[in-house]
Amino acid sequence: MQQELETYFDRLWPICRSVTGNGLRESLHILRELVPMELVEVPTGTTCFDWTVPREWNIRDAWIETPDGRRIAQFKEHNLHIVNYSIPVNAEMDFEELDKHLHTIPELPDAIPYITSYYADRWGFCLTHNEYRDLPRNGTYKVFIDSTLEPGSLTYGEAVLKGSSDREILFSTYVCHPSMANNELSGPLCQAFLYKALSQMENRRYTYRFVFAPETIGVIAYLSQMGTHLMNHLDAGYVLTCCGDPGDFTYKRSKQKTALCDRVAEHALQYSDRRHRVIPFAVGGSDERQYCSPGFNLPVGSIIRSKYQEYKEYHTSLDNKEFISFAAMEETVELLTEMVRILELNECYENTVQFCEPQLGKRGLYPNHVNPTFNREALHNLLHLLSFADGKTDLIDIAEARNRYALVFEEAIASCREKDIIQ
């Protein structure tokens, strides 16, 4: 998986994405090789609750020419050099005027910052503070931005893996940032490879919905079309962001705090012995803000590794391929797959023999003690499952009563189902 993750990363990395435009569409078309998603176009000017879909932005080139003839802050060298959604400019000006449009991070002098201006007609350039300090203060600068802001549309992608039930699990990620690794490509890539894994899962109980959309306005547009459906069908959901670096996992709870999404994620992280922390819902974050907004209040949490705004490389050119780990991304996909397995298993089982223990020997489920492969732990898990299978207690509670990972009961559940002693 790691090699394939890296191959797709390298293809997606140079694309200048935004909340609209051809870079967004190109990225979604590449991801469609992994996830056969339907692409939806939402026209400019469409009202989505309190928001309006903006004009479509596309850019071909941008640069600054210094008084001594050097071209700096070139878009084609790094797409973070341009303030995302900058209006077109072709002008000459002195340093004092240009300086109003320049952005740096003095405390990270080698980093290019990531700046946007989606909803205000502005322009600007981003450069390292070291480069900024060396700029001539006298003379005439030339500024060129070859961009367009025109009526068009916003694009999002959706794919659905049908299960035997119409109850749904949602995975959502954003595809609107330009060349950043953890705070952009890790989410879509982990979600795409999770889709690949789940598409091979047999006898799915849940229906799984995968959303790839521009952050905030994209999910707002999506919810304007699918929000009522999710309110009627969603049992759990997760936003994936910043999940590709080797840091500890972070789980951000839904606003409901103890929804199924919260219980599954926290159980999986605790009992799989992965280093992690759990944080409460807060409005600083990603698209869980929209899914958990008051009118919807959907059961949606967020899976993160090093949390946005808490690592110095965030929203800078330092969030690059060297910062992430494809082994860590594979581990994130493994965790998500385990969470899905728990969701699939997590039912309220009922022992069909309610009075005293079922006679396991006659069903071939009680081991022969002279057998050197006798597994006492497996037997105790089986007996524990049957003892708590009262039709009211779900698997997570059953597992935690024994201080075990829910997945260790997978074999016992399969054996009991085969012998018709749980339902």
Q: What is the pLDDT of residues 47-75, one digit of tens each?
A: 999 999 999 999 999 999 999 999 999 99
Mean residue pLDDT of the chain comes to 95
Cβ atoms of 409 and 381 within 8 Å: the answer is yes
Tell me the residue ranges of DSSP E strands in 182-307: 207-213, 234-240, 249-252, 276-279, 300-304
Integer Cα distance of 24 and 27 in angstroms: 5
Would residue 38 be called left, alpha or beta, if left means φ above 0 and alpha means ψ between -120 and 50 degrees? Answer: beta
**Lowest mean pLDDT, pick from 214-223, 296-305, 329-338, 414-423:** 414-423
**Of the options 3.30.1300.10, 2.60.40.10, 3.40.630.10, 1.10.1060.10, the CATH number for the domain spanning 2-54+153-345:** 3.40.630.10
Cβ atoms of 347 and 394 within 8 Å: the answer is yes
Q: What is the pLDDT of residues 180-190, one digit of tens each?
A: 999 999 999 99
Closest C-alpha to 214, from 223, 226, 202, 204: 223
pLDDT of 370 over the 60 cut: no
Residue 221 token pair? 């547009």
Integer Cα distance of 188 and 194 in angstroms: 10
Largest Cα–Cα separation, the chain = 94
Long-range CB pairs of 325-329 (<8 Å, 24+ gap) are 325/244, 325/245, 325/246, 326/2, 326/3, 326/5, 326/6, 326/9, 326/244, 327/2, 327/246, 328/244, 328/245, 328/246, 328/247, 329/2, 329/5, 329/186, 329/189, 329/190, 329/193, 329/243, 329/244
Which of the four pLDDT bands, split at 50, 70 and 90, describes residue 364?
confident
Is 56-149 the same fold as 2-54+153-345? no
Integer Cα distance of 162 and 199 in angstroms: 9
pLDDT at site 166: 96
Q: What is the pLDDT of residues 220-255, one digit of tens each?
A: 999 999 999 999 999 999 999 999 999 999 999 999
Cβ atoms of 367 and 375 within 8 Å: the answer is yes
Helix, coil or strand: residue 336: helix
Closest C-alpha to 59, from 150, 180, 132, 154: 150
Cα angle, residue 300 at apex, residues 296 and 306 outer, rounded to 5°: 135
pLDDT of 371 over the 60 cut: no
Provide the whole-model pTM. 0.95
pLDDT at site 360: 81
Integer Cα distance of 80 and 136 in angstroms: 22
pLDDT at site 271: 97
Which of the four pLDDT bands, split at 50, 70 and 90, describes residue 357?
confident
Q: What is the pLDDT of residues 272-306, one digit of tens each?
A: 999 999 999 999 899 999 999 999 999 999 999 99
Q: Which stretches of 86-125 are DSSP H helices?
A: 95-99
Which residue type does 274 have? R
pLDDT at site 363: 81
What CATH architecture is 56-149?
A: 3-Layer(bba) Sandwich (3.50)
Other C-beta atoms closer than 10 Å to the C-beta of 167 total 14
pLDDT at site 25: 98
pLDDT at site 207: 98
Integer Cα distance of 372 and 418 in angstroms: 25
pLDDT at site 406: 96
Domain residue limits, the chain:
2-54+153-345, 56-149, 348-418
